[in-house]
Amino acid sequence: MLLDQNIWVGTSAQGAVSLLPKMANRHGLISGATGTGKTVTLQLLAEGFSQLGVPVFLADVKGDLAGLAKPGERNAKIDERLNTCGVTNFAFAQAPVSFWDVFGERGVPIRTTVSEMGPLLLGRMLGLNDTQSGVLHLVFRIADDEGMLLIDLKDLKAMLAYVGDNANKYVLNYGNITKASVGAIQRAIAILEDQGGNSFFGEPALELADWLTRDENGQGTVNILAADKLFNKPTLYSTFLLWLLGELYALLPETGDKELPRMVFFFDEAHLLFNDCPKALMERIEQTVRLIRSKGVGVFFITQNPMDVPSSVLSQLSARVQHALRAFTPAEQKVVRAAAQTFRQNPAFDTETALTELKTGEALLSFLQEDGTPSIVQRATILPPQSSIGAISDTLRETFIATSPYLDKYGESFDQESAYEILAARYMGEGVVETQVVQPIMETAAPVYAQAAEPAQPVYAPMTFSVYNPQTGEYEIKEIAQMQAAVQPAPVAQAVPQAPAAAAQPPVLVWDASVGQYVAQAAPAVQEAKPSLAQQAKDAVSNAVNAVTGTGKTTASGKKAEKSYAQQLLDSFAKSATTSAGRETGRTLSRNLLGIFGLTSTGKKK
């Protein structure tokens, strides 16, 4: 509610306590324990800025800020609060709202591109360590240098795979890129996809100029982000809001101090922003909060514990709305004491004691005055908002979404040519993309019984290969000409079916550097296995005996002569010569056996 073109926040014992709009770009803090009235205070400030013509953004974590879309209703509690605050000309009214949703379910879809998010925020979203974040920075830089657009997550995954496969190519100009780090980033992206990251990254990307609008009555649009689902993914939620803040800083020109801010940004559950925040990102947050004031943007952080906000950021927050704090433990008492010391003390009451005595709907207020000095702290009762307190029906929400002027612009996504499409066209796969297995095609021949016939010749069908050429780095189409394997004719056999010819081995492809292509070569012939040591020993003894006795030779009749008893005995004992243990025994027995035939070991007769 407005009072003399200032936002009337509450009423203390000294009178109305208002926030000066021209001081809103000095930022602020709304804090207090659960159930003390922080959300109502946020709603009151949002509709006050809207009535002044200032666009507002806020995240609706619990769904009850959607009540800004319809007028409030009078009840006993509202009347009691109005009487306490001394309000006489109160009228219920709605604010012009626009619902948005990262997942496109409870509002107009919000999207951005991977490139716009940047490696720093994306690294936080993915939960990467310093080494992995460094690799991600290099991938972004390589994509920029090679003209690869990173629009959605599939573009980023394709770029990571490409850089990982060609790491040696970039090591001298960009630094080491290990496959382990690339794999860790890919794994983190898979987790983000499971959390709905594919809905957030894509096109059309959000143009923040669509949020800096007013309705036909001159009231600023209240852009409400449906964050009830997004809030369940704290890192995604906080990183998304940080990205919005950074985009506002990049979009708006310098404006200095004006009577009205250009936009006011409410960051609910602000502790999520600073939890496990990397040093580089914390420095960026501090810089943005300090410098965005000159762009005409006011930022209000909402949290339960004021100590959740780092001191470097807390010192930049001039507007203070402190609801009740609970002090049941020594640690909580310490927080109460520290929070009380941040206010300019009021001699009318003890600030530390008041913090634990505040009722729901009461708060300690301190805003900047005309001269820029903080006012003394006031214990005040917060005014009720003019819009409805609480959630709205799904039917009413769907009506607002269906009639939104931005639904046609952002309702449907599209996918233009980017890194994924470029790399997919360049590298369809690895090695041979399309290969036909070489199979010999045997001609059918009738059985031969009466006369000899030429055996069937194996014929190889022509084939087309897509072959990687390491000299050019490209895949080339190679066609192998039809080949036939020479087979010797089978011997003539009368009245005997001809045995089928042995199938020839398929050719193999071998890279020939002299001609710069793959050539077909016959498979190497299989060599016959050598006889075993036992067989060699047996053949040597058998040949020595046969040379003297004449056994084992073919007789004049054409029949092989039968082995003598001595030869058979010698064969049996010769087997023992193949082992080291029986070698000496075998020699002794062999000499004795030769002695039976009147021979010495040299083969001469005694």
562 or 65: which leads in pLDDT: 65
> In angstroms, how far is CA 143 from the centroid of its own chain?
17
Interatomic CA distance for residues 47 and 55, integer angstroms: 10
Distance CA 457, CA 440 (A): 9
Whole-Å CA distances, 350 to 341, 356, 378: 11, 11, 11
Give dist(CA 559, CA 556) in Å, integer.
7
Give 290-333 pLDDT, tens digit per residue.
889 899 999 999 999 898 898 889 989 999 999 999 888 888 89
Helix 153-165, helix 114-126: angle, nearest 10: 80
C-beta of residue 67 within 8 angstroms of C-beta of residue 388: yes
Give the per-residue pLDDT at 246: 87
What percent of the residues of the chain are helix, what percent strand, and what percent coil, each to the nearest 5? Answer: 40, 15, 40
CB neighbourhood size of 178 (10 A): 13
Concatenating the DSSP letter of every residue in 36-63 gives: SSHHHHHHHHHHHHHHTT--EEEEESSS
The pLDDT of residue 288: 87
d(CA 38, CA 35): 8
pLDDT in tens, 370-387: 999 999 999 999 999 999
Instruction: Cis check for the bond before 306: say yes or no (omega within 30 of 0).
Output: no
Determine the pLDDT at residue 320: 95
- pLDDT tops 60 at residue 238: yes
Beta bridge pairs of residue 381: 11, 362
Concatenated DSSP letters for 311-379?
HHHHTT--EEEE------SHHHHHHHHHHHHTSPP-TTS-HHHHHHHPPTTEEEEE-B-TTSPBPPPEE
What pTM was computed for the model? 0.69
Whole-angstrom CA distances from 586 to 209, 531, 605 are 104, 20, 21
pLDDT (average), residues 118-122: 92
Which pair of structure tokens corresponds to residue 244? 């919005």
497: which 2 tokens? 């079916």
Cβ proximity of 503 and 460 under 8 Å: no
pLDDT tens across 196-234, in order? 888 899 999 999 899 999 999 999 999 999 998 888 888
Amino acid at position 541, single letter: V
Q: In sequence order, what DSSP letters do the residues of 539-589 get, joined into one string?
A: HHHHHHHHHHH-TTSB-TTSPBPPPPHHHHHHHHHHGGGGSTTTHHHHHHH
480 pLDDT band, cuts 50/70/90, is very low
Count CB atoms within 10 A of the CB of residue 522.
13
Q: What is the pLDDT of residues 563-588, one digit of tens each?
A: 555 566 555 555 554 554 455 555 56
